[in-house]
């Protein structure tokens, strides 16, 4: 069994789509739009077969404070293949204004990782 996809509510579909295409090589399908429900979405596909559905609907409320972790799904991770790639992508993102909330480090459970926020303040781990 594999996870087929995860879904993210977003305010700016085009911005978040561009982010995942730019930094993680995602490919996007054509936008789906349901005018009755005011629902829009894209599926972003990755070379590994993983997918993220990004969705927009005006009635979805904002998170109270995205920098505070709460119960529920808290992050997802991209495996980059090496510590050097984690360092390089973290620095590229920093230079391009992406918020780094966890500097590259070795964790107690053996990962080498950094943590960033995407444009919608979702926590993403970059891991080796």
pLDDT tens by residue, 71-107: 778 899 999 999 999 999 999 999 999 999 999 999 9
DSSP-derived secondary structure letter, 17: H
117, 101 Cβ separation under 8 angstroms: yes
- pLDDT of residue 66 exceeding 70, the answer is no
pTM of the model: 0.91
Helix (H, G, I), strand (E, B) or coil at 74: coil
Would you say 54 and 65 are in contact if contact means Cβ atoms under 8 Å apart? Answer: no
Quick one: which H or E segment has residue 44?
strand 39-45
Statement: residue 65 has pLDDT above 90? no
Per-residue confidence (pLDDT) for residue 61, from 0 to 100: 84
Rg of the Cα trace of the chain?
A: 15
Domains of the chain: residue spans and CATH: 1-58 (3.10.180.10), 74-128 (3.10.180.10)
Q: Once rounded to an integer, what is the mean pLDDT over residues 56-69?
A: 80
Residue 109 CA to residue 111 CA, distance in Å, equals 6
């Amino acid at each position: 069994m594999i996870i087929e996809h995860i879904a993210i509510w977003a305010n700016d579909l085009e911005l978040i789509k561009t982010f995942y295409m730019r930094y993680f090589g995602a490919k996007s399908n054509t936008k789906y739009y349901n005018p009755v429900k005011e629902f829009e979405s894209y599926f972003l596909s990755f070379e590994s077969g993983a997918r993220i559905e990004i969705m927009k609907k005006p009635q979805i409320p904002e998170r109270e404070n995205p920098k505070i972790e709460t119960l529920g799904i808290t992050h997802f991770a991209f495996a980059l293949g090496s510590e050097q790639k984690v360092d390089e992508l973290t620095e590229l993102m920093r230079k391009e204004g992406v918020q780094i909330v966890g500097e590259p480090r070795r964790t107690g459970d053996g990962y080498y990782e950094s943590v960033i926020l995407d444009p919608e303040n979702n926590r993403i781990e970059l891991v080796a």
